[in-house]
Amino acid sequence: QEWGDQYDIIDKHTQSGLELVEKYVKFVKERTEIEQNYAKQLRNLTKKYNPKRGCKEEQECRFSNHQSFLDILNEMNDYAGQRELIAENMMMNICIELTKYLQELKMERKTHLSEAKKAQQSLESTYKQLDSSKKRFEREWREADKAAQYAEKTDQDINATKADVEKAKQQANMRTHIAEECKNDYAAQLQKYNKEQSQFYFSDMPLIFNKLQDMDERRVRKLAQGYVLFSDTERHVMPIIGKCLEGVNKAGTNVNERNDSIALIEQYKSGFERPGDLDFEDYSQGINRASSDSSLGTLGTPKGPLELLGKNRSKPFWLFSKKSKPTVTEDFGHLPPEQRRKRLQQKLDDIGKELQKEVDQSEALEKMKDVYEKNPQMGDPASLSPQINQTAQNMERLRLELSKYESWLTEAGRRGDSIYRSHSNNNEPYSPDGTHSEEGTPDPSQAIYAEFDDDFEEEEELVAPIGQCTAMYNFPGASEGTITMQEGEVLSVVEEDKGDGWTRVRRANGNEGYIPTSYVSISLSK
């Protein structure tokens, strides 16, 4: 079958190919929408279960099982970021690219089909001219044949005059001449048509069909690349997704039930002595309440917080009974001995850090004053006096506070030592103030210290780092508010990821900025 007959087939095939590209683009767009919705739901889920700053759940993160759950939430938040990255890359590399390429293919196909149509119309026009000249040649040849027959008949007619015979012969010769011209014209038109037909079938149409074939093959190749990108886009982020899943697995393996128990014990260890045995009150001997109370007090029977005697003596002491919230005092005397020592030591550490800052600032101001005195053009030394005086006052105030808390800590430690010695020597309760006994036997060998409880949590300094992170990948930090980062670089974490996929960090030189959470391995301070 001639190639020209395949025009409609090629037209339909190329159109079907373009429709397939459009269908694939639509498919990928819907896939990206699914990824974006999935990522959004994951982010909302992690945000829902992430504790708010300062709440009880955040303070419980000192326990490994609580911290591991937060680690899992962070990993899931990073995982959501990778799903968003998949959607973004698919949209950019597949949908936008194929849509742009599809428009180019449509224009190219339109051009090629237009050329084919013009060639077809040109050949049809030539054929019409050929058919017209052929019919004219046929008509004129009949007329010439009739004229020749008429001239011969007139020549044989005895009644015809010589003039009639000559006229008939002239007419026949004229018709024959016209017929010959039509014949020559028909032959020329036939030659022209055959040449154009040959050009059409052996040159023009094969060239156009080759162009359409090349266009369609390029479309198929580009579509195949889109198919490959569909998997490669996800495969490229699989290493980071794998690290997210490894992080979830690591969070599970980091749970240490023994350490959690020890941390809880150390957190709430009070330092009170265990209560002693209750004495038998022999009412049959007529012992009155006053003498009983006096004798029992003399023997060191515990009372005070246990409230085992007096008007409540008929009520047993329950270890887990709810107590009213104590009044908070500056020396933490409202706390049990062990917790009081911890809180005093923590307060001393905080005051020491603050005092060191003031000392550093004082030294810096003195150096600056010295520079101004030597180089007056740089500044007025007197302008620094208010700052120097204020810093000196701050240092004096902090030293007084430091001395005050050191004396309280010394007192708390001395009382605690007395309790330990009393308990270890005679196993009898000891009450320094005669009002209450201590509960529990602390183990001095253990060095695990934790916060007392949520009621006595002190607010952390905003500028203090909350952990460290190690860069797993390079990050250019081109956007405003971000910071550059090299693979393997260790940075201080200033602010955790709040669910948006970014963590605020600080370099050793003081530069701060945001980095993608999924690009680093974070280790928060316990």
Q: Can you give the pLDDT at residue 414?
A: 54
Q: Can you give the pLDDT at residue 430?
A: 35
Q: What is the largest CA-CA distance in the chain?
A: 191
Q: How far is CA 522 from CA 82, 273, 479, 482, in A?
A: 17, 42, 22, 17
pLDDT winner (highest mean) among 154-168, 205-219, 497-511:
205-219
Q: Can you give the pLDDT at residue 340?
A: 79
Q: What is the pLDDT of residues 54-113, one digit of tens each?
A: 666 656 677 889 889 999 999 999 999 999 999 999 999 999 999 999 999 999 999 999
Sign of CA dihedral 35, 36, 37, 42: positive
DSSP summary character for residue 304: G
Partner residues linked to 492 by β-bridges: 468, 506
Of the candidates 337, 197, 209, the one whose C-alpha atom is nearest the C-alpha of residue 271 is 337
Q: Can you give the pLDDT at residue 301?
A: 40
Residues 521 and 78: their CA atoms lie apart, in Å, by 11
Q: Which range (45-49, 249-253, 446-450) has the least confidence?
A: 446-450
Q: Residue range 9-14: average pLDDT? A: 90
Assess whether pLDDT exceeds 70 at residue 358. Answer: yes
Q: Which range (103-107, 173-177, 367-371, 393-397) has the least confidence?
A: 367-371
Tokens of 426: 């005679």
Sign of CA dihedral 406, 410, 411, 412: positive
Which residues does 258 contact at the CB level (< 8 Å), separation at least 6? Answer: none
Judge if pTM exceeds 0.85: no
Q: What is the pLDDT of residues 276-334, one digit of tens each?
A: 788 777 777 654 444 444 444 444 444 444 343 344 444 454 455 555 566 777 887 77
